């Protein structure tokens, strides 16, 4: 068994759990994209020019988008891209956290660990699910633009820009689930990263300059520090630049690799320090206590079913020894004991 054994089975389970939730996200965002484009398509050209000049010439309005031209698609995505990208980021973040940290908090990871599942299978399944959802989202947004009567090149550029931002935040969520001991904490850290990305792109746009046409903004360098700014610099319907897409791919892969490395480092007590969370965890005295069940800690039994070596000279308390059962062993090997969940019933208080 390798570290990724069982990934396909966990991916199928995740797809079954999220089939309705992800479908609602994907179809809803595609419908939103088509609705935005249809609303702007009814505007006269002079109104489009005035709106583009307003967003390009007003520093406060630049926080919400980058003006790239006066076409229907370009003017629509000045404000529409921000909303679509934020919703895609939330979809990716919630999907990764739901299939990693939430599984640990609710005890699903303990049940899954009873099967033949590799160490990184859960993370791999969550990442593959999220990336696949964002790829499908990019295609649906492109089709929505075409259905709304917009050029295919600009439509798919817009879809890829939104999907790439979602993939980035799938990687961000893979890191935040390791930094926080709770599902809410992981989501909160990812939301803080989303806010930071918005601030960086907004500052870069505010410090930018307007070209001679008066309807196209050239962002300053802080915008290139934000994954939100990378999607804006792809300029859907206003140049269709695919170069920044490479920037969106690198942080997500690095984040997933860092998450895997941290999982490998969980066998060291110095990996990180988190509070105890999660369901039951076995104990064999104070000297054999492991760290947090659901977090980043040195745990000889991360899912509550590993076996501890027990020798004849081990100093295991009698109260603990009474709750273990011996497992038959071949001659010449060490004995192993598996913890069993049991409890001592408390005496009931007499009603008299």
Predicted pLDDT at 323: 45
CB 118 within 8 A of CB 7: yes
**236: Cβ contacts below 8 Å, ≥ 6 apart:** 68, 73, 74, 77, 81, 154, 155, 157, 158, 161
- pLDDT on residue 262: 47
The helix (H) or strand (E) run that includes residue 170 is: helix 152-179
What confidence score (pLDDT) does residue 251 get? 56
For residues 221 and 209, is the Cβ–Cβ distance under 8 A? no
Residues in the chain predicted with pLDDT less than 70, given as ranges, are 1, 248-352
Residue 30: per-residue pLDDT: 96
**pLDDT for res 118:** 79
Taking the model in full, what pTM does it have? 0.72
Cβ distance 192 to 114 under 8 Å?
no
Which residues pair with residue 68 across a beta bridge? 216
- The predicted pLDDT at position 92 comes to 96
Instruction: List the chain domain ranges.
Output: 7-267, 307-344
Residues 84-134 have pLDDT tens digits of 999 999 999 999 999 999 988 888 888 887 777 878 888 899 999 999 999
The predicted pLDDT at position 236 comes to: 92
**Alpha carbons 62 and 216: distance in angstroms, whole number:** 11
> Could you tell me which of 211, 134, 120 has the C-alpha nearest to residue 168?
134
Listed in sequence order, the residues at least 6 apart from 217 whose beta carbon sits closer than 8 Å to its beta carbon are: 55, 56, 62, 66, 67, 68, 205, 208, 209, 210, 211
CA atoms within 13 A on the CB side of 323: 14
pLDDT given for residue 197 in this prediction: 95
């Amino acid at each position: 068994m390798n570290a990724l054994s069982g990934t396909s089975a966990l991916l199928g389970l995740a797809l079954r759990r999220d089939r309705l939730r992800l479908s609602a996200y994907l179809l809803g965002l595609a419908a939103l994209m088509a609705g935005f484009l249809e609303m702007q398509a009814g505007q006269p050209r002079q109104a489009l020019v005035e709106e583009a000049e307003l967003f390009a010439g007003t520093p406060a309005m630049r926080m919400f988008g980058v003006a790239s031209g006066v076409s229907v698609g370009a003017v629509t995505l000045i404000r529409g891209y921000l909303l679509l990208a934020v919703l895609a980021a939330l979809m990716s973040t919630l999907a990764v956290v739901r299939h990693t940290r939430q599984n640990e908090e609710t005890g699903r990871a303990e049940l899954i660990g009873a099967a033949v599942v590799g160490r990184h299978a859960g993370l791999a399944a969550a990442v593959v699910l999220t990336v696949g959802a964002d790829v499908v989202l990019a295609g649906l947004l492109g089709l929505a633009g075409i259905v709304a009567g917009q050029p295919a090149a600009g439509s798919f550029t817009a879809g890829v820009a939104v999907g790439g931002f979602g993939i980035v935040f799938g990687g961000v969520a893979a890191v935040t689930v390791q930094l926080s001991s709770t599902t809410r904490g992981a989501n909160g850290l990812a939301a803080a990263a989303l806010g930071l990305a918005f601030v960086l792109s907004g500052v870069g746009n505010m410090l930018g300059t307007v070209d001679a046409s008066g309807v196209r903004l050239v962002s300053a360098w802080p915008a290139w520090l934000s994954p939100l700014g990378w999607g804006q610099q792809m300029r859907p319907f206003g140049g269709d630049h695919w170069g920044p897409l490479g920037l969106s791919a690198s942080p997500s892969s690095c984040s997933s690799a860092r998450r895997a490395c941290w999982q490998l480092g969980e066998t060291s007590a110095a990996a990180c320090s988190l509070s105890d969370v999660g369901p039951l965890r076995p104990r064999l005295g104070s000297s054999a206590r492991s760290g947090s069940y659901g977090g980043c800690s040195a745990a000889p039994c991360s899912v509550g079913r590993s076996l501890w070596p027990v020798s004849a000279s081990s100093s295991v308390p009698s109260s603990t020894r009474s709750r273990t059962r011996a497992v038959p062993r071949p001659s010449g090997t060490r004995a192993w004991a598996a913890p069993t969940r049991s409890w001592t019933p408390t005496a009931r208080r007499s009603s008299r």
